[in-house]
A and B are shown apart, each in its own frame.
Chain A
């Protein structure tokens, strides 16, 4: 029988689990999402608060100081990070969670072996999996962070014998894991397993291109959930099992939804040699040696001023140049002249699904001007001017027309069907997928080179003189 204190803890955990479930439910609908996040936070506060009542906890100093430092770091970064850097921030926090799960598993193993308790195969398996998955998620997330932050090259990193080396590391992780479960090796074997899993996590993400990072982060997110659930088995704590599995399952579903939005299968993302295929394609198309037509801010302003309908296609380049406010001002000026202005949002514009909506909402763009891909694609043939600001792969007609293109089959915005297309771009560099874009060479396409915010400001000024 549980005594009073243990009952309070156990019942509070059930309440917290209900908060998490309602939180998730509310998070999946726009109107209630913020409330959902808060519900989950309340559940978390409750779960952590009652855990402090646990008799197993005898010293509070480490917990208090550790929580204070961790919370300070977390809140500082969460509040100061630019909205454009949101994806890598999620990756970093996810890595922290993975690291926690691994360390908890290792520590519990050390405690049990030192106490001389026999570790059953169920507990042993949970410890091994918790350590391995947590460690993989930790280094994997850090590499994903590095790629998105552009500390590491976004292109897939490949080297000779890569698959062989990865297979060897994977086998060592499995072998060491089995060894620990059957009771051989002790702490040394678990530490080696921990180290091998850390290497495996990094090796697993390095060969994946930067464009696929959202899917990778989503996978790592559900892996961390699973690792948390496994520590629940180790510590005999149902709260950890429930919350961990909730994230593991919903994260898996989210991964599937996301890769569907990008028209990539999860297997393809993880193991497809995306970069290798695209380097051939680059060579093939740029060898044709077609030229692009440049335009000036003044000509752009005239084209926009005399248009009846303008569709703006924002991409990550807009976010990098922090031009979302400038683009909104330009749009307002055009509307005052009676031009119909809309924004076309590709599902994966930015670096993550939904990322661009967040960025434009931050710049106070009215929600009813944001059109999704399916709504807007039929309208392009009747659109006078399409202004592509820092988007590239999501407007590449090769995805629709060229079966040899590595992005063939990805749903795109059909901007090439509009009457005029003006592309704002820093240079003729390639997009995140690293491939050439046929749109730039079309007869009805004009290029306006330069920093997106500067170009837009110049267009805005020129517009006043039209």
Chain B
């Protein structure tokens, strides 16, 4: 086994702990946006598609690389935009909250 593979396994194991640790407590309100956000992050795999498509030297590899780039880019861009749209709603309600309180005080 190469030194590189061992290093990769190191990174793999450490990242498992980090992944578990960073989202230890999530309110159920955020489950959907969080799933959507992590969904966008695994779009990083388009990076692999870049390496394949950029170094392709046969028609088949070009086609495979191209489809992979399209899929991966849709995952990345769509994922981040859709998550942002969801979270934008949450921001609105912070504006709505003081308004509602103000109305109560006036009443």
Contact = CB atoms under 8 A, between A and B. Distances in A.
B66 A225 contact: no
A375 B44 CA distance: 40
A313 to B, nearest CB: 16
A241 B54 contact: no
A249 B15 contact: yes
16 contacts: A44-B43, A44-B80, A48-B50, A70-B75, A79-B81, A93-B43, A93-B74, A97-B75, A114-B58, A221-B39, A228-B42, A234-B48, A240-B44, A246-B15, A361-B93, A368-B100
Contact of B35 (A62, A90, A233): A90
Interface string A20-43: 110111011110011011101100
Interface of chain A, main secondary structure: helix
A316 B16 CA distance: 35
Contacts of A247: 19, 38-39, 41-42
A358 interface: yes
A366 B99 contact: yes
A151 to B, nearest CB: 19
A74 B38 contact: no
Interface string A127-167: 00000000000000000000000000000000000000000
Nearest to A57: B54
Contacts of A81: 82
B54 A63 contact: yes
A34 B87 contact: yes
Contacts of B90: 30, 33-34, 357-358, 361
A227 B45 contact: yes
B47 A248 contact: no
A66 B70 contact: yes
A253 B39 contact: no
A51 B90 CA distance: 34
Contacts of B41: 20, 23-24, 40, 44, 225, 243, 246-247
B78 A73 contact: yes
Interface residues on B, range: 35 or more
A60 B34 CA distance: 33
Nearest to A97: B75
B31 A63 contact: no
A19 B69 CA distance: 23
Interface string B1-30: 110110110011001111110111111111
Nearest to B52: A107
B32 A251 contact: no
Given A104-B45, A261-B31, A249 B19 contact: yes
Contacts of A65: 66
B82 A78 contact: yes
Contact of B5 (A69, A78, A114, A233): A233
A257 B55 contact: no
Interface residues of A, number: 118
Interface stretch (A346-354, A418-426, A451-459): A346-354
Interface of B: 1-2, 4-5, 7-8, 11-12, 15-20, 22-56, 58, 60-62, 64-94, 96-97, 99-101
B12 A33 contact: no
A75 B46 contact: no
B18 to A, nearest CB: 6
Interface string A48-84: 1001101011111011011111110111011101010
Contacts of A366: 93, 96-97, 99-100
Given A33-B37, A94-B42, A97-B39, 6 more contacts: A27-B33, A28-B23, A33-B90, A70-B70, A240-B47, A358-B32
A194 to B, nearest CB: 11
Interface string A88-118: 0110011011011101101110110010000
Nearest to B36: A90
Interface in A225-262: 225, 227-229, 231-254, 257-258, 261
Q: Give the 6 A-B residue pairs with the shortest CB-CB distance, closest first.
A: A70-B73, A249-B19, A74-B78, A57-B54, A66-B69, A245-B15
Nearest to A249: B19
A47 B43 CA distance: 11
A103 B86 contact: no
A458 to B, nearest CB: 27
Contacts of B27: 30, 354
Contact of A74 (B45, B69, B76, B86): B76
Contact of B19 (A58, A97, A253): A253
A355 interface: yes
A352 B31 CA distance: 8
